[in-house]
A and B are shown apart, each in its own frame.
Chain A
């Protein structure tokens, strides 16, 4: 039955080439931990993506309860943490995932760096990867404020003051992020929420797509 369904779709939109581009390729021996255990270093990139998927899914569920408003943000997180079935686990996955993704990203970057895998012709993919790293740091910074507890508030205040000290664009940058030159408050929370949930994930998805397309296009770098 599935074959029939596949054929029906394939006849209309010629799905086979797309499918083969995505999944039908050979995995060379030097990246396969089944042959050389030390090749586990090649897993870091895939595991980073795995944690990103965990972050997306757990984040989607968190927004079902979270309220980006200074009166209710903390209360909604507290409610999620203490009352909602499995709320503590979902929030825990998002919290720990945020740290684990940075660790895995660092390991992946170091693997690529020390193997010199960014050399010609893969310079562009390295740049895209470092941009993904910056986006992740931005996600960590904006996500830290959202529970609206004391550590979030005071750390964000420090972070915004640092942004304000940047020459020339500092004041403008601070107002852009915080919504006000002085107050860290209601506007800051909604802006950080929007940046964390819409702007940065949008940029992240685009960069991830480019990252993966380039990998499939160029293949994995050869053995050292």
Chain B
């Protein structure tokens, strides 16, 4: 196509006069069995898409999306964790050379170099050869970066106890439950449980809420004595009568909450 001087226009308009070329390119440069996009290839593509969709829906149905308790800036001791594809950046900032006085290195220089060279890859890797072995530097850099990202993600994720996190942060809507503080069970609760499970039984960083649990009095008594999960055995230090009062109290609060 002519450019600049010598461009031709349609009539006296600004529309460039060019031969009508609506016929698509044929792929004679790659001789072989070409196939029409519409409708032949699109039909097959649609079938592949359906298989993908089935797999995706199975994932969705098997694992309901997580939701934790409502955001509360005063939650003590909450360990923040980003979504999995940010974990490698998060882990990078834990290294000495990428944090504290060198934080610029961790948040600007290293990610900037990595993503900057990804963006400008065609201008850094200018050789004519397309095969991986014809451009060893680009391919090596990419494999090393990928390995680093995988390693950092693994390092970050392997130290997280995902089940315990989900268990400790269950989504329980704030209940306006009247807690009967004159109940003898409340006094027992105050002495044995309140330091972890909170004044209003709604839990804290160290222990889950006791409201909204679906447990019988016997099960609660067993947990109070023998512990469960991260709760050690022997937390409850009272008589059997007090234990009975405690479990009855917790069950009654849960009954109240269900109303």
Contact = CB atoms under 8 A, between A and B. Distances in A.
Contacts of B45: 43, 46
B34 A119 contact: no
A88 interface: yes
B130 A28 contact: no
B56 A100 contact: yes
B238 interface: no
Interface in A118-159: 118-120, 122-123, 126-127, 130-131, 134, 137, 140-141, 144, 147-155, 157-159
Interface stretch (B5-13, B78-86, B218-226): B78-86
Contacts of B29: 222
Nearest to B149: A106
Contacts of A47: 49, 52
Contacts of A119: 122, 125-126, 128, 130
Contacts of B35: 26-27, 29, 32, 34
Interface range on chain A: under 10, 10 to 19, 20 to 34, or 35 or more? 35 or more
Given A24-B24, A92-B65, A167-B108, A74 B82 contact: no
A155 B82 contact: yes
A193 interface: no
A199 interface: no
Contacts of A151: 68, 80-81, 169
A38 interface: no
Nearest to A145: B71
Contacts of B119: 127, 130-131
A21 interface: yes
A219 interface: yes
Given A93-B60, A150-B78, A184-B73, A114 B139 contact: yes
A33 B71 CA distance: 48
B52 to A, nearest CB: 6
B234 interface: no
Interface residues of B, number: 78
Contact of B25 (A25, A147, A224): A25
Interface string B63-107: 111111111110100111111111000100100000000011001
Contact of B37 (A25, A134, A166): A25
A33 B65 CA distance: 33
A117 to B, nearest CB: 7
Contacts of B107: 162, 165-166
B215 interface: no
A191 interface: no
B83 A224 contact: no
Contacts of B125: 116, 119
A221 B29 CA distance: 11
A194 interface: no
A175 interface: no
Residue of B57, B61, B80 with most chain A CB atoms under a 10 A cut-off = B80
B36 A96 contact: no
Interface string B196-232: 0000000000000000000000000000000000000
A10 to B, nearest CB: 13
Interface stretch (A1-9, A75-83, A206-214): A75-83
Nearest to B28: A26
Given A26-B34, A92-B63, A99 B85 contact: yes
Residue of B42, B45, B57, B60 with most chain A CB atoms under a 10 A cut-off = B60
Contacts of A155: 80-83, 86
Interface of A: 16-17, 20-21, 23-30, 32-35, 43, 46-47, 50-51, 54, 70, 74-75, 77-78, 81, 88-89, 91-100, 102, 110, 113-120, 122-123, 126-127, 130-131, 134, 137, 140-141, 144, 147-155, 157-159, 162, 165-167, 184, 219, 221-224
9 contacts: A25-B36, A26-B27, A35-B33, A99-B83, A110-B146, A118-B122, A134-B115, A144-B83, A219-B25
Interface of B: 22-27, 29-30, 32-38, 41-42, 44-45, 48-49, 52-53, 56-57, 59-61, 63-73, 75, 78-86, 90, 93, 103-104, 107-108, 115, 118-123, 125-126, 128-132, 134-135, 138-139, 142, 146, 169, 171, 173
